[in-house]
Amino acid sequence: MAEGSVPPLIEQLVTRYAQDVYRYAYRLTGSAADAEDLTQETFLAAVKNIHQLANPELARSWLFTIVRNQFLVRHRRSKGMVAHPLGDQAEEIMALDSGDDEVDGELIQNALNALSDDQRVILLMFYFEQASYREIAEQLGIPIGTVMSRLSRAKEALRKKVLAVTRQDSDH
Amino acid sequence: MDWDPKQISDRELLECLRPHQGSPEDPLAEELQKRLAAHPELVSLWQEVQQCDGDLARLLQAIPPRRGLEERILSRLKSELEGMSRTGSEGSPTLDTAEAEAGHAGQAFCGEGMNPRRRMSRRAWVAAGVSAICASVLGGLGLWLWRNQKRTKPLSSVEIANEVARIFEQTLDQFGTGQSFNSNPPPARARFSREIRLYLGSTITWRRVTVMANTAVVFDITQPSGERGSLFVLNVKLPDFPSFPPYFPQLQTSRTSLGWWCESDTAYLLAVLGGPRVYQRFLKPPSPIT
């Protein structure tokens, strides 16, 4: 590698996946500036650990893992997961489904920001990475039963927040 | 298995399983199918969950692209790699050496796993113990010497620029809280650069910070337009600093644009909140070529 030059593989990763990583980082952090910093740090970490990328076809999920870990290292809170009481699930799902045209990206972000870091990470792995409950358990190193309960609570919490903001908006 | 599928509630199964995920052998998928057969009302609820998940996934991905992101990342990577290659010759790991080390580590791991463990004699144990003690003592001594030695390696522009960008962003809450430039002039050695452009109504305060063990004076400048920037002044000679301020910032983060130059034995680093245009408004326009 020439001194100071960016390796071609890294350049390709930046060109192809920088915006994907940025979108993920944006949903994690909730702000464009923090998301860009996190994206830059992700690619810095990628350069230092490029030898770990055995299969370039898996680069996207590898970068997502880095951005998630970077976020957790920076923002890990000492307190544990926030438990939310179980509510009437069917009613909430129907309500959100009927009004989804009014739900925009900013509203979703506000709802995400109101969740704990752990809940946000697990939700984004499910929705953004399309990870299965098994993959989430493996990546985060927690039991499958714990993933099931945390994920269902996080989804319920997100729906509640989205619904609350939607209702506030419609009241105004 | 640390859980029993039968103990998972209906809601957890509906929320966590997707139709296309989970093979028939998956105990949870099997359990879900059983419950859907036993309680047909759950089928429509599961469909609603899938519909809702699809909508949320789509909304979560809908973020406008960030302009110039790729260029800024590549620029920063280049700066970092330049810094790494400078320090690489002094023992810090570069990408190549890190790869080599990772390769050796992998080989060592495989070797240990493949070879049968040999029994060690008592003499070998004693020798290993003495070696370990000697190595610890020497290592500790080396660490002590390393920590107490004076830094002789010249500072590089990239190292200083990254540090100044970090200080600038992390001490924004102290911006403008220093002493007034007019009523309490700064030390004579910390000269304000003539290259900085000031307008009627610009305000300047100054304070002291430490940049990589060097005391620096920072001039916090607020332009009448509200744009903010800090000029870091260090009395050090830095051979790789240019002798005039660059028209385009040499380092950019998401918030900050930064450029650096040297005037005789004084190093100047200008950090501004904003992009290249804001940075350029803090500098006097280049003189015409005569």
pTM for the whole thing? 0.54
**Which of A5, A26, A36 to probe by mutation at the B interface, max B CB count within 10 Å?**
A36
> What is the residue-level pLDDT of chain B in tens, covering all 290 positions?
556 777 788 888 888 887 766 566 677 888 888 888 888 888 888 888 888 888 888 888 888 888 889 999 998 888 888 776 665 544 433 333 333 333 333 333 233 333 333 445 667 777 777 777 777 777 777 776 666 655 555 667 788 888 899 899 888 888 988 888 888 888 888 889 988 998 888 889 999 998 888 889 999 999 988 999 999 999 887 778 888 888 888 888 888 899 999 888 889 999 999 988 999 999 988 766 54
Q: Do A98 and A48 share a structural domain? A: no
Which residues in chain B have their CB less than 8 angstroms from residue A133's CB? 16-17, 28
CA distance B110 to chain A (A): 16
How far apart CA A17 and CA A8 sit, in angstroms, is 14
Query: Chain-centre distance of CA B193, in angstroms?
Result: 29
Q: Output the pLDDT for position B207.
A: 92
Q: Do A164 and A98 share a structural domain? A: yes
Q: Do A68 and A104 share a structural domain? A: no
Q: Do A131 and A68 share a structural domain? A: no
Q: Do A132 and A96 share a structural domain? A: yes
Which residues in chain B have their CB less than 8 angstroms from residue A4's CB? 78, 81-82, 85
Q: Do A56 and A126 share a structural domain? A: no
Asked whether residue A59 carries a pLDDT value surpassing 80, the answer given is: yes
Q: Could you tell me which chain A residue has the CA closest to the CA of B97?
A: A48
Residue pair B150/B179 in contact by the 8 Å Cβ criterion = no
Residue A2 covered by a domain: no
Quick check: A48 and B95 CB within 8 A?
A: yes
Tokens 């590549």, located at residue: B74
Tokens 């996190």, located at residue: A38
Q: Which residue has the higher pLDDT, B221 or A142?
A: B221
Q: Could you tell me which chain B residue has the CA closest to the CA of A147?
A: B16
Residue A80 covered by a domain: no
Q: Output the pLDDT for position A39.
A: 94
Quick check: A103 and B55 CB within 8 A?
A: yes
Residue A164 covered by a domain: yes
Q: Output the pLDDT for position B94.
A: 37
- What phi, psi does A78 have (nearest 5°)? -70, -30
Tokens 């385009």, located at residue: B248
The CATH number of whichever domain residue A105 belongs to comes to: 1.10.10.10
Residue A56 covered by a domain: yes
Instruction: Find the range with the poorest average confidence among A2-6, A21-25, A32-36, A94-98.
Output: A94-98
Which residues in chain A have their CB less than 8 angstroms from residue B7's CB? 145
Quick check: A37 and B253 CB within 8 A?
A: yes
A to B CB pairs, distance under 8 Å: 150
CB count within 10 Å of CB A134 equals: 15
Q: Do A19 and A68 share a structural domain? A: yes
Quick check: B72 and A22 CB within 8 A?
A: no
Which residues in chain A have their CB less than 8 angstroms from residue B97's CB? none
Q: Do A164 and A109 share a structural domain? A: yes
Alpha helix locations (H) across chain B? 10-16, 27-38, 41-61, 69-88, 95-114, 122-148, 157-170, 276-281
Q: What is the separation, in whole angstroms, between the first and last Cα of chain B?
A: 81
Q: Do A117 and A68 share a structural domain? A: no
Angle at B48 between CA B42 and CA B54, to 5 degrees: 140
CA distance A38 to chain B (A): 10
Quick check: A19 and B48 CB within 8 A?
A: no
Q: Do A112 and A162 share a structural domain? A: yes
The ipTM (two decimal places) reads: 0.77
How far apart CA B111 and CA B113 sit, in angstroms, is 5
The CATH number of whichever domain residue A54 belongs to comes to: 1.10.1740.10
Mean pLDDT, residues A44-59 taken together: 87
Quick check: A14 and B74 CB within 8 A?
A: yes
Considering only CB atoms, B55 lies closest to which of A86, A100, A145, namely: A100
Of A52, A75, A98, the residue that ends a domain is A75
State the total domains in chain A.
2
How far apart CA B238 and CA B243 sit, in angstroms, is 10
Residue A84 covered by a domain: no
How far apart CA B217 and CA B205 sit, in angstroms, is 10
Amino acid identity, residue B48?
E
Considering only CB atoms, B254 lies closest to which of A37, A44, A103, namely: A37
Query: Chain-centre distance of CA B201, in angstroms?
Result: 36
- pLDDT tens-digit series, residues A63-111: 999 999 888 877 654 333 333 333 344 344 444 443 443 446 677 888 8
Q: Output the pLDDT for position B95.
A: 35
Residue A129 covered by a domain: yes
Q: Do A93 and A71 share a structural domain? A: no
Residue A33 covered by a domain: yes
Query: How does strand B203-211 pair with strand B179-180?
Result: antiparallel
CA distance B51 to chain A (A): 7
Q: Output the pLDDT for position B279.
A: 93
Residue A82 covered by a domain: no
Q: Output the pLDDT for position B221.
A: 94
Q: Do A52 and A126 share a structural domain? A: no
Residue A155 belongs to domain spanning: 89-171
CA distance B78 to chain A (A): 6
CA distance A46 to chain B (A): 10
